[in-house]
Amino acid sequence: MFDLKLFRKDKKISQTKLAEILGVGQSFISQIESGKDPMPEAFIVKLSEIYPTDNIRAYDKNDNIDIKIKEANAFDIVAMGGEVYANLLNKLIREKQLAPFALLEQKEQEIKELNREIGRLEERLENSKKTDVQEEGDATCAVAK
């Protein structure tokens, strides 16, 4: 069962906007979210195309996991474990309890650039103060070194 409501909230999309994207009425989105109608596979495919960098399958909750495990071979079980791990990581990222390394690296670069800009602004402010003092009144001022 696909958790459309969680997906929609994570993406900050209204039911109306999602209905527009998928080409259906808002009431159909509401029925899917309330569990009255299943999520069509075509919608999942379309959302995967629109959000290619996201793991859309992370929103897919398997109600029949016990049956799948009983029928699974060793490879299937390892794959399921990987999927569980990926879902957990996605959940932690969505809940902002874990940040992807690339995001941390990007934020660190932004902080460095902001600190450089602060330094440039402080220097301009100091130069402006010196200029203002030199230009005031009839007093003669020594040029600061």
Kindly give the parts of the chain with pLDDT less than 70.
53-54, 61-71, 101-102, 132-145
Give the pLDDT confidence score for residue 70 in this predicted structure.
64
What type of residue is 4? L
Q: Is 140 left (phi over 0), alpha (psi -120 to 50) or beta?
A: beta
Give the pLDDT confidence score for residue 64 in this predicted structure.
47
Q: What is the pTM of this model?
A: 0.42
Q: Are 32 and 4 in contact (CB under 8 A)?
A: yes
Q: Are 33 and 15 in contact (CB under 8 A)?
A: yes
**Rounded CA gap, 99 and 105, in Å?**
10
Give the pLDDT confidence score for residue 89 in this predicted structure.
81
**Rounded CA gap, 38 and 34, in Å?**
10
**Rounded CA gap, 88 and 28, in Å?**
29
Give the pLDDT confidence score for residue 128 in this predicted structure.
85
Q: Are 80 and 72 in contact (CB under 8 A)?
A: yes
Q: CB-hemisphere CA count at 13 Å for 124?
A: 6
Q: CB-hemisphere CA count at 13 Å for 126?
A: 8
Q: Locate 100 and state its tokens.
A: 């992807």
